[in-house]
């Protein structure tokens, strides 16, 4: 059950995100996500009169027969939001206003993306996960989805605290019947190979990642073995602080995601998340 304060936060986030979508990045969303307005449909044999600029030279070389790529107008796209709602995302040292944690930044980003999708006549869906799938909301074109997206970031965690990113992304991929835009909002503090977890999804869909962080997490760690409590499992472990710090720096996480082909931006609890999103749109749009 959500507390009265959490419900008030949801309303504030919803109103703020709706205003920012119009004032900051009304055209940026379309530029970054929809590109030229055309999407690949199939390869077929060349017919006299076809535009030779669309010849698929790889297929032509393999088959020894001319083939062209066919495109269709991209009237709408599917935006799928992947929200990590595990225990580590509930952390924050306060941000600029003394109240901001990673979860609140996540909710602001998710709300803005959902509003932008609906206002561009696109479908938006949601997968919220910890060490299992908490919520799966199929893509739809309704304003009610915006409320569900924001609410999911505030839902009580219950007994589930850990993160299974690979499993969540496998489920997300199965839920998408066609190519989509996927926005992952997480701190990406996962055990194992981050690049390997994300790469299969990035091979089939256009994936964007927003890495949530807090200044406290970026302070230099002590050297040597230290005993730490895992925020997600509650387990006490002896770890090599230097090795752990090197693996989990923001730079290391961003590098792993980008090497997997993911457009990546960092969002600190001290940042204006809407400004980060605006710059992300501008950068991705310029690369298309």
Separation CA 75–CA 34 (nearest Å): 9
In the prediction, which pLDDT does 160 show? 60
Count CB-CB contacts under 10 A for residue 107.
25
**pLDDT at residue 222 above 70?**
no
Q: In the chain, which residues fall in CATH 3.40.50.410?
A: 4-33+74-287
Q: Over range 74-79, report the average pLDDT.
A: 78
**pLDDT at residue 246 above 60?**
no
Separation CA 87–CA 106 (nearest Å): 13
- Choice between 124 and 49, residue whose per-residue pLDDT is larger: 124
In the prediction, which pLDDT does 243 show? 53
**CATH architecture classification, 4-33+74-287:** 3-Layer(aba) Sandwich (3.40)
For residues 200 and 169, is the Cβ–Cβ distance under 8 A? yes
In the prediction, which pLDDT does 157 show? 61
Q: Report CA-CA distances (Å) from 216 to 25, 94, 104, 210.
A: 30, 10, 17, 18
In the prediction, which pLDDT does 30 show? 77
pLDDT tens for 254-266 read 999 999 999 999 9
Closest CA to 154 of 139, 135, 177: 135
Q: Over range 154-173, report the average pLDDT.
A: 80
For residues 81 and 179, is the Cβ–Cβ distance under 8 A? no
Question: What pTM was estimated for this model as a whole?
Answer: 0.78
pLDDT tens for 174-201 read 999 888 999 999 999 886 788 999 999 9
At residue 280, the 3 state secondary structure works out as helix
The dihedral region occupied by 218, where left means phi > 0, alpha psi between -120 and 50, and beta the remainder, is alpha
Sign for the pseudo-dihedral over CA of 266, 269, 272, 273: positive
């Amino acid at each position: 059950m959500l507390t009265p304060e959490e419900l008030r936060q949801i309303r504030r986030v919803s109103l703020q995100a709706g205003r920012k979508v119009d004032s900051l990045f009304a055209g940026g969303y379309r530029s970054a996500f929809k590109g030229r307005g055309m999407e690949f449909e199939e390869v077929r044999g060349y017919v006299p009169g076809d535009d030779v600029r669309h010849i698929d030279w790889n297929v032509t070389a393999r088959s020894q027969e001319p083939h062209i790529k066919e495109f269709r107008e991209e009237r709408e796209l599917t935006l799928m939001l992947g929200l990590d709602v595990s225990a580590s995302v509930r952390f924050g040292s306060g941000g600029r206003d003394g109240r901001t944690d990673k979860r609140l930044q996540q909710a602001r980003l998710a709300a803005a993306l959902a509003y932008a999708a609906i206002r561009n006549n696109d479908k938006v869906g949601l997968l919220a996960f910890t060490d299992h799938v908490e919520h799966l909301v199929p893509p739809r074109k309704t304003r009610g989805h915006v409320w569900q997206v924001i609410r999911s970031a505030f839902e009580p965690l219950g007994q589930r605290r850990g993160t299974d990113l690979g499993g969540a992304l496998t489920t997300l991929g199965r839920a998408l019947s066609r190519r989509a835009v996927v926005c992952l909002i997480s701190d990406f503090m996962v055990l194992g190979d981050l690049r390997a977890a994300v790469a299969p999804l990035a091979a089939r869909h256009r994936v964007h990642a927003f890495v949530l962080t807090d200044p406290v997490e970026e302070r230099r760690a002590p050297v040597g073995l230290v005993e730490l409590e895992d925020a997600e499992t509650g387990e006490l472990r002896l770890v090599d602080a230097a090795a752990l710090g090197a693996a989990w720096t923001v730079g290391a996480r961003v590098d792993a995601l980008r090497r997997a082909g993911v457009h990546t931006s960092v969002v600190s609890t001290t940042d204006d998340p809407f400004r980060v999103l605006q710059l992300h749109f501008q950068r991705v749009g310029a690369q298309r």
